[in-house]
Amino acid sequence: MHEKEVKSILSAQNGMNIYRGCTHGCIYCDARSTCYQIQHDFEDIEVKSNAVELLEKALRSKRKKCMIGTGAMSDPYLPIENKLQLTRQCLELIDEYGFGLAIQTKSDLILRDLDLLRSINKKSKCVVQMTLTTYDEELCKILEPNVCTTKRRAEVLNIMKEEGISTVCWMTPILPFINDTEENIRGILDYCIKAKVYGILFFHIGVTLRDGDRQYFYQKLEEHFPGMKEKYRKTYGNDYEIFSPNNKNLADLVRRECRKQRIVCGTKQLFDYMHLYEDKQAGVQLSLFDL
């Protein structure tokens, strides 16, 4: 871990990343890609030490309330959050100033801040996004080794349901020849249906691989799935988008079940929803485009 002072915390779309890098160890992590220009070891977490100060300044200067997003590039609930509590301090500000929240994680540490999520959701809208990729617990421990397993994440979704907090499942990525099976997809769908998620976000049944990400992924394939690296190279070469041979059938399965269960799975519709601010006390809805 190392600290760094930064000049700003919110992006143009009102997203923030308090940490840079990750220790979850997911073998497919796109954030390892060299295009993101991380200049330090990925596991040596960069902590934006002035994040809380910058967020308060940004929220005070906003002309209108909006949704604040976090977790797109780096999980806000890395293990170091237990000690630093920067995510919690940022949530306290979001709650205090009456903004909405769309937060993405793979960690059950989010339950520590359930009081704040509940409070934000009473005044505005809180959307908790959980990544679920692998129904089989043992396989999950290989693919996402240093974070709670899918079963526990599903329990978090159920807790959010009981609290009346909206949830979205990121069913991505799904790895060709590894977990791109109907059994796996149905297992994840069952978790989502029981938790009554608002939406399931998936782009296709597959994974994206770029420079930096690809090398780490192939290293882990060799470690855990002998012969799989060569199968990927033979099948996909250096393609960026890696589609499962089962892409069409499995994607159709997801869409069919979502329609049946009235779960939103349209990508644009879900992103629009997560950007739509609601003032529950005043009965007002504003999108980010109103800012």
Task: Give the model's pLDDT for residue 291.
Answer: 43
Say if residue 130's pLDDT is above 90. yes
pLDDT band at 280 (very low <50, low <70, confident <90, very high): confident
Question: By the 8 A CB rule, do 78 and 23 touch?
Answer: yes
pLDDT per residue as tens digits for the range 173-213: 999 999 999 999 999 999 999 999 999 999 999 999 999 99
Which residue do the tokens 């796996």 mark? 184
Rounded to the nearest integer, the mean pLDDT of the chain is 95
Among 9, 168, 155, 54, which residue's Cα sits nearest to residue 103?
A: 168
Average pLDDT over residues 125-153: 98
Gap between the Cα atoms of 215 and 213, Å rounded: 6
Task: Give the model's pLDDT for residue 282.
Answer: 77
Phi and psi angles of residue 24, each rounded to the nearest 5 degrees, phi first: -65, -30
Say if residue 285's pLDDT is above 80. no
Domain spans, the chain = 2-290
Q: What is the pTM of this model?
A: 0.93
Q: Which tokens sit at 145?
A: 């080794």
β-strand pairing of 206-208 with 241-243: antiparallel
β-strand pairing of 206-208 with 199-201: unpaired
Gap between the Cα atoms of 170 and 201, Å rounded: 5
Cα distances (Å, whole numbers) of residue 233 to 174, 199, 213: 17, 33, 14
Phi and psi angles of residue 287, each rounded to the nearest 5 degrees, phi first: -90, 170
Average pLDDT over residues 20-27: 96
Say if residue 76's pLDDT is above 50. yes
Residue environment code for 165-175, b if the CB has 16+ CB neighbours within 10 A, otherwise e? bbbbbbbbbbb
pLDDT band at 43 (very low <50, low <70, confident <90, very high): very high
Q: Which CATH number is correct for 2-290, 3.90.930.12, 3.40.190.10, 3.40.630.40, 3.20.20.70?
A: 3.20.20.70
Say if residue 92's pLDDT is above 80. yes
Any residues with CB less than 8 A from the CB of 241 and at least 6 apart, and which? 204, 206, 208
Task: Give the model's pLDDT for residue 290.
Answer: 47
Say if residue 287's pLDDT is above 80. no
Any residues with CB less than 8 A from the CB of 283 and at least 6 apart, and which? none
Say if residue 98's pLDDT is above 60. yes
pLDDT band at 91 (very low <50, low <70, confident <90, very high): very high
Percent residues over pLDDT 90 in the chain? 93
pLDDT band at 284 (very low <50, low <70, confident <90, very high): low
Gap between the Cα atoms of 111 and 88, Å rounded: 11
Q: Which tokens sit at 254?
A: 């997801």
SS (H, E, C) 56-78: HHHHHHCCCCCEEEECCCCCCCC
Average pLDDT over residues 152-162: 98
Say if residue 286's pLDDT is above 80. no
Gap between the Cα atoms of 81 and 3, Å rounded: 13
Gap between the Cα atoms of 267 and 272, Å rounded: 9
